[in-house]
Amino acid sequence: MPPRTAAPAHKKRSKRALPAALPGLEEFVLPTRFGPDIAGIDEAGRGSLAGPVVAACVVLPEDFRLDGLDDSKQLEPEARERLYPEIKAQALAWGIAASSPARIDEINILEATFEAMAKACAKAARRLAPEGGLPKRVFVDGSKTIPSALLARELARRVPAGPVPSQRAVVRGDSLVAAISAASVLAKVWRDRYMDRLARSFPCYGFAEHKGYGTMRHLASIGCYGPCPAHRLTFQGVKEYVGVRPPTPEEEEARCIEFTLPER
């Protein structure tokens, strides 16, 4: 048996001194304290097949404390409803804005989301104006920030001229930054309430149950009745049924008669 050879010695890596702080590193530090200089923005309803996309912007005070605040998707509806008025009461400023289904179809969902976000930020800034004006930094949930020209345009419509805030996109920001978490709750509750109202106007789609998202029941309703004015006509799952004629009462009755329950 040949003798074992010694394993080759690993080369020592050169230890190069790392800089104490990389240039621009401060831009990547998430806020732990708040105040009039910092705002958080989030949206609700971007992936829905019906209803508006809604955005909210929240500016929190330095001493903000609110038990139970989290990403709105992680909260039960009752918890969101409890937090909604408390956030409004404690916030230095807040704004909510929406882009309609028609607007979404006109300019696409991403641009419509940015538009709602810019308007929500401008509404919050208008509430801040008597206290000193615009926030200096805006933290946006997700991987993209609002186009600067769009944000500047919406701010100019509502508040005195001033520097456009810097922006930082934060992936999973609704669970990392309290101001974004607060914005996510406002946007979600406002939109859910709106969808509940739509459910009374268009009862056959079940909007109160699924809030316009693509559940099996919702997709089946679109296929049966065709889309209503609340639907986004350019979305997959909706556009295929544009022009579908709803069944007459007689056809609906006949279909119910043909339906039989499975044997137990």
What pLDDT sits at residue 9?
47
3-state secondary structure 136-185: CEEEEECCCCCCHHHHHHHHHHHCCCCCCCEEEEECCHHHCCHHHHHHHH
Q: Are 163 and 131 spatial neighbours (Cβ–Cβ below 8 Å)?
A: no
Residue type, 163: P
Phi/psi at 94 (5° precision): -155, 155
Query: For residue 75, what pLDDT is reported?
Result: 87
What is the tens place of the pLDDT at every residue in 50-79?
999 999 999 999 888 888 887 678 889 999
**133-171 pLDDT, tens per residue?**
678 999 999 999 999 999 999 999 988 777 899 999 999
CATH number assigned to the domain covering 31-197: 3.30.420.10
Spans of the chain, pLDDT less than 70: 1-28, 71, 130-133, 249, 251-264
Give the whole-angstrom CA distance, residue 77 versus residue 79.
5
What is the reported pLDDT for 58? 96
Integer Cα distance of 226 and 210 in angstroms: 17
Residues 6+ apart with CB under 8 A from 81: 189
- Smallest Cα–Cα separation from 219: which of 208, 229, 206? 206
Give 3-state DSSP helix, strand, coil % of the chain, rounded to 5. Answer: 45, 10, 40
Nearest CA to 185 among 175, 195, 200? 175
Residues of the chain with CATH 3.30.420.10: 31-197
